[in-house]
Each structure stands twice: as structure tokens, then as C-alpha cells.
Structure 1
Amino acid sequence: MRKRLVAAALAALAAGALTTPAAAQAPRPLTTVSVLAHGSKAGTAVVSGQNAPGTRLDVGGVHTASAHTLQIDYQVQQTGYWCGPAATRIALSARISPPSQSTLAAQLGTTVNGTDHISQVTGVLNANLGTGWYETKEMPNDPPTQAQRDLLWYDIVLDIDHNYPLVANIVAPPGNQPPGYPSDQTIYHYFTVIGYDDANRTVLIADPASFSGNQIYWLSFDQLATLIPPKGYSA
């Protein structure tokens, strides 16, 4: 199904007429916190806090004319090397009651050295959902080509509009880091993309590292596109 949608939508994109079907309905957790698009009259565009590792933060979705964010069950990664399991769990939580981080770490083959490759995340997402939706997308060029950037934005919109968060494997060196990251280190990491704002060309990140308390935050699409190379993402 996904490949048919991709082929049809890429043709529409080339013709300047991209549209996507309505999103599937997400399972709703018991408690929600609204995450609002940039420019919303109702309030802020950033949700962050100081949750201890393993505690829950239920984040509620919103869909406006230009923005779409998903409802997920956020958790801080429970060890320094479980960003892959935690990001995978966040993605799964938009659709199902997800396994624990420890269960996902076992499924992913995560060790004290982390989760080796984004393809392991893709396989575990599909195995738990039973949909075959997710594919591994490599971004080996640094900086990425325009074609890779276009595909990344298209994948974000397609996946979010169908209630599938993306998981990205990133490399964040000093001088190009999301908010709160240690500025003197290159961080190899996994986080989850749970929304987009087309008007502002931004993406909503659920970051299991919680660096300086930054857990759910908006990031420019341009920066996201520079953080993924030479790794990849599951979409």
C-alpha cells in the first residue's frame, strides 16, 4: 500500500498537485497534552519538561490547515544507549499499546554500543504493527541532495497524515545540534518525528534523550535534513 501511495504522490509532486488522504484514527491514551502548531492563537508550540527516565508524558495530536501532530506516549530513554528502543516505542505508541523499552531493546539487538542501523528499527516497527508500512531510507550524502530532501519532506507528510511517526537516526556535531544537546560533543542518536507544520516548514520531535529537559520540540526541516546524513530514517 505504502509503495503505491509513494509512486502516485511522487507523480503528483512532480506535477505540483500533491494531496494525501485523511489520517487514520489513533488510539487515545488516558491523559493528553495539546501540542499546538506555530502561530496558533490557542497557545505555545513547544512542550518540554523534566520527566525522570521511564516516566510517561501523553502528548495529544492536533490537525490544522497547515499542521498535523500525532498523539503519542512519550518516555525518556531508560539507559544511555536505549535511544533506539525508546524512539521505536514512541513511534509504536501512536498506533498500539507498545512493548517496554527493554523488550524492544531485545528485539532490536541493542547493546551498550547502541542500535547499529536504522534498518533494525524498520524491521521491529513492522513486526510489532504487522502492517509492512515502514521502509528504510538512507541519506548517505552530507549535505543531502535536493532529491533526498524532497523525499524526506514527502515521507514526513505522508507518514504523519497516515498516523505513522518516523524514526530518524541522526548525527549531531557541535554547531549543528537540537536544543539542549551537549555543545562540545558529537551525539549519535535516534529520535522520533511526530508532526509537521507546512506553513513554517518545521517538524515536531519527540526526543527520548531529554537533553536539558527538551523532550517535545519544534525543529526546522532544514536542520533535520542536515542531522540525518550519513545515516537514515524509518518511514
Structure 2
Amino acid sequence: MTTVTRWLPAITQTSVVRKAALGVAGLAFAGGAIAGPATVAHAAPVSAGKPATVAQERDGGKELDFTYKFQETYFYCAPAATKMALSALGKDLSQDELAKKLATTEAGTNSAIETTRVLKEVTGKDYRTVEIPGQKASKAETDRLRNDVVRNIDGKRPMVANIKGTSVDTDGHAHSYEGGHYIAVVGYRDGGNTVKIGDSWSDEGQYWISTDKLANWIASRGYSA
């Protein structure tokens, strides 16, 4: 079972108070990147070999055991997402330690290239950065993401995604990060058509979202897989 160490997602007032305490007025800052033009946290094009062409069909799914944590500052979304991913591998680094490794500043964390670098450094696993460069994911890019999720989670390799904009989870809750954000991907079901998210800035904290929606959420940015 997933360990929740800070708050119960059902108590939405708690996160509202915490966000106010972090000095976020009107959510002008979206958990790690300044709202407005997406000049922070874009993933630069990365050559990562030929993409997989056929998603593996599975009836079931898999969830990794990880520790959920709310981000400790308004700009610590990448350290928080990376910490959640690393917790599934038994790695326990603080958000401050990870912020230093990620070169995180009050303007956020530059791109998924940084989360890839730190995941490789800390775990010794061969993480790579995958970019979805357009404003909307293509079918091939969505299929590749689905393949990457299934392969990584089956191999106990949690992922970190750099997202931007608004999407809606399977319970109908909207999650809006117009200035950019980072999330952990820690499980899948329905053959990889739905993925489990650890979100350090959400009232729900943990939720499921369709892979199609996640791909479009990542569009113009990238993910570490």
C-alpha cells in the first residue's frame, strides 16, 4: 500500500491552508514554474533511440509502493516529484538535497533533462528523456508513452513528467498548472491506458488519469523514463 506521510487528500482545506502558508497568492505560481509563457521547464529535444511502435496489451496493471509528500515550497514540484519516484526504489533524499541536484531555483526546474539526470545519478538506472515537442501529442507519441509507462513500472522504474496546462482525472477532478509542474508516475492499469499520479500540489494528492490525457499534458515538454 502507498504510504501517505503528510495529509489526507480528502481534507482539501488542509492543502489550501498549506498553499497559503507558502505564499501563493491566487496560484500565480503553479508549483514550480512561473505562470505565463513556458520559458521554464521545457524539455529540449533528446535523441533516445527508436520509439516503440506497439504498446503491450495487458489486462491488469501494477502500482509501485511509494511515499507521498507535499512539496515544501511553491517551487519545489520537481524535487517533490523526484523524491516520490525515488521512494519507490528505497531512496530517501530530502527535497532540499534534490533541489540542489536539480539546480532548482524560485523560477522552477529547467526541464525533464534535469530529472532524468538526477534519477540516473541516484538510482544507477538508465533513465532517458523523451520529449513531446508539439502542442498536442500524436498517436505515436501517446503509444510510446503508454509503452514507456508499462515497461518502466513493470521494471520498478517510476517516472517523472513535466506537464503544463489543465487536465481532468478519472474522478472528474481538474488539475491546472498553467505555469508548469512536475508529477510522479507510479502505476498503471487497463493495459497502460490509465496511469497513477503522485502530485505534490494537488488536493487529491494521488489520482488516476488516462494516458491520452497525460500525453497531451506533457505536450511541449518531456518526461523521464
Question: Given residue 143 of structure 1, which amino acid in structure 2 is its aligned partner?
Answer: K
| CA RMSD across the alignment | 2.4
Whether contact under 8 Å (1:48, 1:217) holds in the other structure is no
Q: Are residues 1:48 and 2:38 paired?
A: no
Which residue does 1:130 correspond to in 2? Answer: 124
Which residue does 2:95 correspond to in 1? Answer: 101
Alpha-carbon distance between aligned partners in 1 of 2:85 and 2:124, rounded to the nearest angstrom = 14
- Give the match's secondary structure for 2:175: coil
Whether contact under 8 Å (1:180, 1:214) holds in the other structure is no
Which residue does 1:72 correspond to in 2? Answer: 66
Whether contact under 8 Å (2:142, 2:211) holds in the other structure is no
Whether contact under 8 Å (2:149, 2:192) holds in the other structure is no
Which structure exhibits the higher relative contact order, with contacts defined as CA atoms closer than 8 Å and separated by 6 or more residues? 2
Deviations 1:115-137 (A, max 9, x none): 01110000001111122x21000
Deviations 1:169-228 (A, max 9, x none): 00114xx4553535xx72410001111112582111010112xx2101011111111100
Q: Are residues 1:190 and 2:182 paired?
A: yes
Which residue does 1:111 correspond to in 2? Answer: 105
In structure 1, runs of 5+ residues without a counterpart are: 1-31, 35-46, 54-63
> How far 1:142 sits from its partner (Å)?
2.1
- Give the match's secondary structure for 1:214: coil
Whether contact under 8 Å (1:70, 1:194) holds in the other structure is yes
Alpha-carbon distance between aligned partners in 2 of 1:136 and 1:216, rounded to the nearest angstrom = 23
- Give the match's secondary structure for 1:217: strand
Q: Under a length normalisation based on structure 1, what TM-score does the superposition of the two structures give?
A: 0.69
Question: Given residue 224 of structure 2, which amino acid in structure 1 is its aligned partner?
Answer: S
Which residue does 2:223 correspond to in 1? Answer: 233
Whether contact under 8 Å (1:96, 1:129) holds in the other structure is no
Which residue does 1:61 correspond to in 2? Answer: none
> How far 1:65 sits from its partner (Å)?
4.9
Aligned length: 176
Moved over 6 A (4+): none
In structure 2, runs of 5+ residues without a counterpart are: 19-57
Alpha-carbon distance between aligned partners in 2 of 1:98 and 1:134, rounded to the nearest angstrom = 18
Q: Under a length normalisation based on structure 2, what TM-score does the superposition of the two structures give?
A: 0.72
1:200–1:86 Cα change, 3 Å: closer
Matched-pair identity in %: 37
Question: Given residue 82 of structure 2, which amino acid in structure 1 is its aligned partner?
Answer: T
